[in-house]
A and B are shown apart, each in its own frame.
Chain A
Amino acid sequence: MHAVEARGLAKHYGDVKALNGLDVSVERGTVLGLLGPNGAGKTTAVRILTTLLAPDAGTATIDGVDVIAQPEIVRTRIGLTGQSAAVEERMTGRENLEMIGSFFHFDRTQRKSRAAELLERFDLVDAGDRIANTYSGGMRRRLDIAMSLVARPAVLFLDEPTTGLDPRSRIGMWSVIEELSDDGTTVVLTTQYLEEADQLADNVVVIDSGVKIAEGSVDELKDQIGGDRIRVTIARAENIEVARTALASLATGAIEVEGPTATTLTAPIRAGGGVVPQAIRALDDAGADVVDVEVRRPTLDDVFLALTGHRAETEESASDAEVTA
């Protein structure tokens, strides 16, 4: 039995198809990354799986329990951390955790010990008796996740857990999620960042316009779209075809020419294995007059370009407002 099993989930808002037949399954104890640009349908999927939203079509089970037929039981098995840190800002961290314990009908001893345990685990012991509106963004997020874990859910849903965090807090949040996964918690997380999915997810489902366009491990995705990207800037635009020819034998996909003076080329190349020195040598031999070379890992944008032929950033559509409203 999978921790999460969804088939053909669909949700339409008028003409906007927020989800259009999404299949997802998550094995127990693994982390699934739902990857996609704004408005792709990630939040809609999470809201359906957490019983907040009824789908127009499709089925889903959490821990074997049907989300449509038995939402009350599903709610005892899930933890949800939404996009905004849903903490009661005028209560302390400890009070927030104990409140969730009360909602799960823990007795007083259970409530107190579970709250203390979670404060310890999320590095909030010193801040535990401070009012939550004095917390930093990162602390609030940690408290938010701790609140989702009070009743030891079978599946934890994290909707864009690092959006709005500064880089340091983001790294901290990653290590929190890694620890959860090491402890065997099943996690479904949504993200717009390939880097984040790379860091955290065992498996990734890429969503675009409400449908799954790719699935697999991050490495598999990267191989699918052709490894790294090399970006070469040359001194004079008239040499652009010379440079393109020099790179052609190494590129694993289409070479793009860009930049205001059309002196920059971007080509997908195989990762590692001395490809970069080869490329520079080839450019030099051809007399392309290279002024700058940059190698980077593929981004969500590259994944999208390779899989769909359009860039992720242009996907900002009206549906986004609908979906997250």
Chain B
Amino acid sequence: MSEQAMRTNAANARATRGKPGFVDGWRDASTEARRHLRIVPRNPELLAFSLFQPIMFVLLFVYVFGGAIEVPGFSDYNQFLIPGIFAQTLVFGSSFTAVGLAEDLSKGLVDRLRSLPIARSAVLIGRTFSDLARNLLTFVVMLVVAFLIGFRFEGSLLGALGGTALMMAFSYSFSWIQAYIGLSVGSVEAANAASFTWMFPVTFLSSAFVDPASMPSWLQPIANHNPFTRLANASRALYNGMDPAPHLAWAIFWTVLITIVFATLSIRRFSRST
């Protein structure tokens, strides 16, 4: 063995092992996640998006619509509205998965990562997990603001935790849709538009802000079957101490289905060597 090769192997713990295994994969995913989390405080745009926009959303919706809308079954519209705002804002947060991936692609960072001896899935898992962590921060900020303007959990602690976990998991599944978009569109600008636009109809044609019964009759079936409606209904029920069935099961179903389908598509697209 040449001196060069010996030095190579001595310094390189991975040199002779084959395919990265499960443990290696998680270690690589956490290295990748740490990269994204480390740069959050250094990225003013991302920070504003993660912290100030949620505050603005909560305050705008509550003070603009709060007095004007009445929903059957809720004496206080804010108790109806605020879980919807939480859900929408967290789902919007997934768009940064698309934009960040498109940015890494255009800068050549994705090629660098693909030329390293790490599991291909680690890069995407690391990114989606870091976005989940960032979303958790967004949630805490929103919750504080909501409490300050009078929102309360009316149900059990378990209900509050469950509703929150459901929203986090659902928005995580959307991160995989966004990963697929980020890998497909080809530029950061396109990712910006493609990641955001479709989420407006998805979140507004739902029960997040109003009772779908108040919508035109042709729109009602769409709103009622929208996966986002299931999420909004289930977490709202859990937050307010009401029965979340049957929406809870539907929301979990959609979360799992979207994650499986889009994680498979995204990882396949990322690994594709053409």
Contacts and interface: CB of A to CB of B under 8 A. Distances in A.
Interface string A246-275: 000000000000000000000000000000
Given A103-B116, A104-B14, A54 B273 contact: yes
Interface of B: 2-5, 7-8, 11-20, 24, 27-28, 31, 35, 38-39, 42-43, 106-109, 111-118, 273-274
Given A52-B114, A54-B273, A84-B107, A63 B39 contact: no
Interface in A66-86: 70, 72-73, 75-80, 82-86
Interface string A20-58: 000000001100000000000000000000111110000
Contacts, number: 113
A90 interface: yes
Interface string A96-108: 0001101111100
Contacts of A100: 116
Contacts of A90: 39, 42-43
Most chain A beta-carbon contacts within 10 A, residue among B11, B28, B112? B112
Nearest to A50: B115
Contacts of A53: 273-274
Interface stretch (A149-157, A227-235, A236-244, A303-311): A149-157
A80 B109 CA distance: 11
A88 B37 CA distance: 12
6 contacts: A52-B111, A72-B18, A76-B17, A77-B8, A87-B109, A154-B8
Can you list the 5 inter-chain pairs with the closest CB atoms, starting with the nearest? A86-B108, A90-B39, A75-B117, A84-B108, A86-B112
Nearest to A75: B117
B150 to A, nearest CB: 38
Contacts of B24: 105
Contacts of B11: 106, 110, 114, 151-152
Contacts of B35: 88, 91, 99
Contacts of B39: 88, 90-91
A95 interface: yes
Interface string A103-132: 111100010001000000000000000010
Given A73-B18, A82-B111, A89-B107, A95 B117 contact: no
Interface in A145-170: 147, 151-154
A156 B115 CA distance: 12
B109 A76 contact: no
Give the size category of A's interface with B. 35 or more
Nearest to B28: A103
A287 interface: no
Contacts of A89: 107
Contacts of A63: 5
Given A91-B35, A154-B8, A106 B13 contact: yes
A59 to B, nearest CB: 15
A291 B126 CA distance: 67
B114 A103 contact: no
A77 to B, nearest CB: 7
Given A87-B107, A88-B35, A152-B4, 12 more contacts: A51-B273, A73-B18, A78-B115, A79-B115, A80-B115, A86-B109, A99-B35, A104-B12, A106-B13, A114-B11, A154-B8, A184-B4
A253 to B, nearest CB: 41
A82 B112 CA distance: 8
Nearest to B11: A152
Contact of B274 (A54, A73, A91, A185): A54
Contacts of B5: 63, 154
A192 B8 CA distance: 31
Contacts of B115: 50-52, 75, 78-80
Nearest to B115: A80
A79 B42 CA distance: 28
Contacts of A154: 4-5, 8
B38 A147 contact: no
Nearest to A83: B108
A63 B8 CA distance: 11
Contact of A105 (B13, B16, B38): B13
A10 B125 CA distance: 33
